[in-house]
């Protein structure tokens, strides 16, 4: 025969309700009734504290990209199925690029390509996505944007939202601070795959569906030395294009 009673355990000043079961021998088994099932609840229990020093992005219930204020926990959703994925936790990172959503700005250099501003709906539901367009010159390297930056000998990631327009393939290329090493990956916007093309730097690539034909494409690479490095997007020849959003 067993009996059940409800009581509270106190931890760090917070009362947590528990259920205790006592068997005929007098043994007590305690099972807490507070379960942090973020994906099931779709919210964060108010007794849980959370800090973050900057804004951050997540996918909302409607499948669109959202911006969370500094200090707010993020409940993330699948952009395709709209299923709740629970509390979004990521490694620390800092965006070192200004104008990271405006590839038409002069800080992004262009070679045999151009950027048309705000021509289609971005992953956040606003018409702020740009179009990368190749020119008609016969070249294997049409570069709609390239950005230089001062780097240290550490790990970097570059990510971009891309959607196929007339072109369905592109490459992201990172060059090291001393110019002696590279990492590049090809991205296929038809079947949603990425493949390392050639590398003399340790690196990896990912491609993740973001809804409405968009993919979040990224490369992560380990810079071997300090100096002025650069990262760029390359699309193939003929006057065709991809949509891009930072």
> What is the pLDDT at residue 10?
42
* Per-residue confidence band for 38, with pLDDT thresholds at 50, 70 and 90: confident
* Per-residue confidence band for 24, with pLDDT thresholds at 50, 70 and 90: low
Question: CB neighbours (10 Å) of residue 168?
Answer: 16
Tokens 């669109």 map to which residue? 64
Task: Write down the mean pLDDT value for the chain.
Answer: 84
23 pLDDT more than 90: no
* Ordered alpha helix ranges (H), the chain: 38-41
> What is the pLDDT at residue 3?
37
Q: CA-based angle 41:43:48, to the nearest 5?
A: 110
* Ordered alpha helix ranges (H), 45-183: none
182 pLDDT more than 90: yes
> What is the pLDDT at residue 33?
63
Average pLDDT, integer, range 58-78: 94
Higher pLDDT, 218 or 26: 218
CA–CA distance, 173 with 154 (Å, rounded to integer): 17
Average pLDDT, integer, range 8-34: 51
170 Cβ contact partners less than 8 Å away, ≥ 6 residues apart = 162, 186, 187, 189, 233, 234, 235, 242
Q: What is the pLDDT of residues 89-115, one digit of tens each?
A: 888 888 999 999 899 999 999 999 999
Letter string b/e over residues 4-28, b meaning 16 or more CB atoms within 10 A of that residue's CB: eeeeeeeeeeeeeeeeeeeeeeeee
Tell me the pTM: 0.80
Portion of the chain with pLDDT greater than 90, in percent: 59
């Amino acid at each position: 025969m067993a009996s059940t009673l409800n009581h509270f355990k106190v931890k760090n000043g917070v009362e947590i309700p528990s259920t205790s079961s006592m068997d005929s021998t007098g043994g007590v088994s305690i099972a807490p009734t507070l379960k942090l099932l973020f994906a099931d609840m779709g919210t964060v229990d108010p007794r849980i504290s959370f800090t973050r020093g900057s804004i951050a992005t997540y996918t909302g219930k409607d499948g669109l990209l959202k911006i969370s204020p500094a200090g707010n926990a993020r409940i993330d959703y699948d952009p395709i199925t709209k299923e709740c994925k629970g509390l979004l936790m990521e490694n620390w990172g800092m965006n070192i690029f200004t104008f990271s959503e405006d590839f038409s700005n002069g800080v992004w250099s262009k070679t045999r390509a151009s950027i048309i501003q705000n021509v289609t709906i971005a992953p956040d539901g606003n018409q702020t996505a740009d179009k990368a367009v190749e020119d008609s010159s016969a070249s294997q390297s049409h570069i709609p944007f390239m950005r230089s930056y001062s780097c240290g000998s550490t790990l970097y990631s570059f990510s971009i939202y891309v959607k196929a327009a007339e072109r369905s393939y592109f490459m992201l290329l990172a060059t090291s601070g001393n110019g002696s090493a590279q990492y590049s990956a090809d991205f296929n916007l038809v079947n949603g795959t990425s493949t390392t093309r050639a590398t003399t730097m340790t690196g990896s690539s990912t491609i993740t569906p973001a809804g409405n034909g968009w993919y979040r494409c990224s490369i992560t690479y380990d810079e071997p030395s300090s100096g002025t490095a650069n990262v760029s997007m390359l699309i193939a020849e003929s006057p065709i294009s991809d949509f891009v959003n930072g």
